[in-house]
Structure 1
Amino acid sequence: MSDAQLLSFAAHGNGPCFVRVTEVWVLDETGTRLVLKDGLYGDLENFAKVSGNESFAFGEGLPGKAWAEARPVVLKGFQGSYFKRTEAAEAAGLTAGIALPVFAGEDLKGVVTFFFGDDAEHVGAVEVWASAGERSDPLKLEDGYFGTAEHFGWISRHTEFPHGQGLPGQAWASGRAVLFEDLGASHKFLRAESAAKAGMTAGLGLPISAPNPAPHVVTLLSALDTPIARRFEIWEGSAGAGFIRIAGADEHGNPLPEQQDVSRFETGAGVLGTVAATAIPAAVEMTSSAGSAVVALPILSDGKVVQIAAWYF
């Protein structure tokens, strides 16, 4: 699949998205600091400028903390914290962030950061689930950001997922990304009733590959009015056939139609193929009159990319 096909097949919407900024940070040539590789900032030009001039040492700032702790890190409220871009973030109306590290074995490939705003209609969820490590130990909510979906957040804080159950449990057990469609009606989604009340439509579970003894899973739960993205996809590596799309949903939580010309890509070809070849995440604008952007996150097993989880704005 070429970038042109990827772009033409991406869904577009007009409303606001739950995630307002996405960044990808990678190690510099010395391997001692994280520098900005990609950024999706929308109209937040000053925050983009400040971020482009920033870098982070091991343990420094939100990206550096995720690097040092080898786990996803959520930060709600920047004032008085370790966050380095507080003034620019607050001027941009950003109120919370999360950083996801991507490791291939012990090697850091990148850190993906998401930032959120805060308004009366901001509904959705980005959750971090963790287990003590044994299969008998369930996943519990370590942290998360829910916007105004306070009741759903309360339900999540009082829910546990055994190995293999629910969206987080399935991602943990399989070591693969998992996509749930139509959350409010899904018998597989253990919080379906509260998801329906909150207007949530689709859920993406992402196992985090990191040298941390405690398994971590990040879930992105999209709502119709403020979706995480306009479209979600999971691509699976297949011997001799590049990567094949095995799951997809639009912002309404509906399955994507099958289209042969956009259902596979070769390693090294285009945005997704480059992520598959390098294991380095991407968050890039794609030029067109309609405008579109893609975030691509590699899912690794034993240091190798086995899947790409992608979402489009």
Structure 2
Amino acid sequence: MSQAIAMGETTPRDEDSTRTFVEVTEIWVPEGNRLVWWSGNYGALSEFAGVSTKKGFNKGEGLPGNAWAEEKPIVLKDFDGSYFKRTDAARAAGLTSAVAFPIFAGKTLKAVVVVLCADDAVRTGAIEVWHEENGLLMLDDGYYGAAKHFEWVSQHTHFPRGQGLPGGVWAAEAPMLMRDLGSGYRFIRAESAGKAGLTTGLGLPIATPNGRTYVMTLLSALGTPIARRFELWKVRSARTGGGKEAVLADGICERDGPLWDDETETCVPAWQGPIGEVVGSGIPIVKHDTAAPTAGYASMVAVPIYRADAIHHVVAWYS
């Protein structure tokens, strides 16, 4: 794979006609005692975007503010009667559920990432939150769209350290990609995943200042994918010139197949391209439209993964 593709420097293609599992992604960053809008991709939902970009949240207010206050990922499967502050605008846009997760560097909040989904009879995927309890990872909550049987299986599944995708992330304290979920022996819920059409899994360790263990999993289906390309980057000290750089550690793409090989190392220095921007700033980003080339895709999300107060990985997904 060329370095230009890895850094998102090709001309974007037209957006695929397949609807993705996630409709909206937005980044909120602390400014004083409030969270303010930083960036987002709203697709064609311009009215919801107009409402969102003018909002701000105190700690403990709304979905972003609660993720900050509770220091953990939160799933909201129904906005009615909840603390979600944009219910009317979300309903008008066809959005029905959301997941928010905080990005902490040690005890310092860097950002809150929020993804919003629309529910229908066919949209299938999973965004799950797992927490450690008595030496096992238990399902905290999750959103599954139309994958109701897989949701039931997940609610009755737990993971020891090192087992399955959530347990593997827990043991490695690092993000992981897992392919062929429906047939892979490493994916504990393979049979039900296959029936739901789930194919690719991304697991993220969520660092929290309270010391509790959380793992998020994003499980993508071919028909309504969470993303069409996933990349895992390992952050290290730059080999020349000082500073930091990211090296591609793993990746999978619908169009290009496997992205990583052990013969060609792909590196991105801090502040170069979207991945380098995350390495340099320590803040997640959303890029979209032709003004922000994203490896030939219409949009990308890139998120730093911290251990204590240092970035160890950057995870990116493209739609």
TM-score (norm 1): 0.92
Identity of aligned pairs, percent?
A: 47
Residues 7, 268 of structure 2: 8 Å contact kept: no
Q: Secondary structure at the match of 1:98?
A: strand
The equivalent position to 2:155 in structure 1, one of 154, 157, 160, is 157
Cα deviation, residue 239, structure 1: 3.3
Cα deviation, residue 293, structure 1: 1.1
Residues 78, 95 of structure 1: 8 Å contact kept: yes
Q: Secondary structure at the match of 1:220?
A: strand
Structure 1 stretch displaced more, 257-266 or 35-44: 257-266
1:242-266 alpha-carbon deviations (Å, 9 max, x no partner): 2111111124995336598882211
In the other structure, the counterpart of 1:47 is 48
In the other structure, the counterpart of 2:119 is 118
In the other structure, the counterpart of 2:34 is 33
Query: Which amino acid letter does the alignment assign opposite residue 80 of structure 1?
Result: G
In the other structure, the counterpart of 2:213 is 215
Structure 1 stretch displaced more, 142-151 or 209-218: 209-218
In the other structure, the counterpart of 1:230 is 228
Q: Secondary structure at the match of 2:37?
A: strand
Distance change (3 Å), C-alpha of 1:2 and 1:224: same
- CA distance in structure 2 between the aligned counterparts of 1:98 and 1:82, rounded to whole angstroms: 13
Distance change (3 Å), C-alpha of 1:254 and 1:158: farther
Query: Which amino acid letter does the alignment assign opposite residue 304 of structure 2?
Result: P
- CA distance in structure 1 between the aligned counterparts of 2:255 and 2:226, rounded to whole angstroms: 11
**In the alignment, structure 1 residue 270 sits paired with structure 2 residue 273:** yes
In the other structure, the counterpart of 1:301 is 307
Q: Secondary structure at the match of 1:169?
A: helix
Distance change (3 Å), C-alpha of 1:49 and 1:4: farther
Unaligned runs of at least 5 residues, structure 2: 240-244
- CA distance in structure 1 between the aligned counterparts of 2:54 and 2:91, rounded to whole angstroms: 17
In the other structure, the counterpart of 1:91 is 92
Residues 129, 142 of structure 1: 8 Å contact kept: yes
Structure 1 stretch displaced more, 179-188 or 218-227: 179-188
Distance change (3 Å), C-alpha of 1:291 and 1:247: closer
- CA distance in structure 1 between the aligned counterparts of 2:220 and 2:200, rounded to whole angstroms: 5
The equivalent position to 1:312 in structure 2, one of 294, 309, 318, is 318
Distance change (3 Å), C-alpha of 1:188 and 1:86: same
* Counterparts of residues 40-79 of structure 1 (less than 5 Å): 40-79=41-80
In the other structure, the counterpart of 1:8 is 10
Cα deviation, residue 208, structure 1: 0.3
Structure 1 stretch displaced more, 219-228 or 245-254: 245-254
* Counterparts of residues 106-255 of structure 1 (less than 5 Å): 106-132=107-133, 137-241=135-239, 242-251=245-254, 254-255=257-258
Unaligned runs of at least 5 residues, structure 1: none
- CA distance in structure 2 between the aligned counterparts of 1:33 and 1:2, rounded to whole angstroms: 37
Aligned-residue RMSD, C-alpha: 2.3
* Counterparts of residues 17-28 of structure 1 (less than 5 Å): 17-28=20-31
| Count of aligned residue pairs for this structure pair | 308
TM-score (norm 2): 0.91
- CA distance in structure 2 between the aligned counterparts of 1:66 and 1:257, rounded to whole angstroms: 33
Residues 206, 218 of structure 1: 8 Å contact kept: yes
- CA distance in structure 2 between the aligned counterparts of 1:286 and 1:88, rounded to whole angstroms: 23
Q: Secondary structure at the match of 2:96?
A: strand
Query: Which amino acid letter does the alignment assign opposite residue 219 of structure 1?
Result: T
1:24-81 alpha-carbon deviations (Å, 9 max, x no partner): 00012xx211011011000000000000110000000000000000000011111111
Query: Which amino acid letter does the alignment assign opposite residue 48 of structure 1?
Result: A
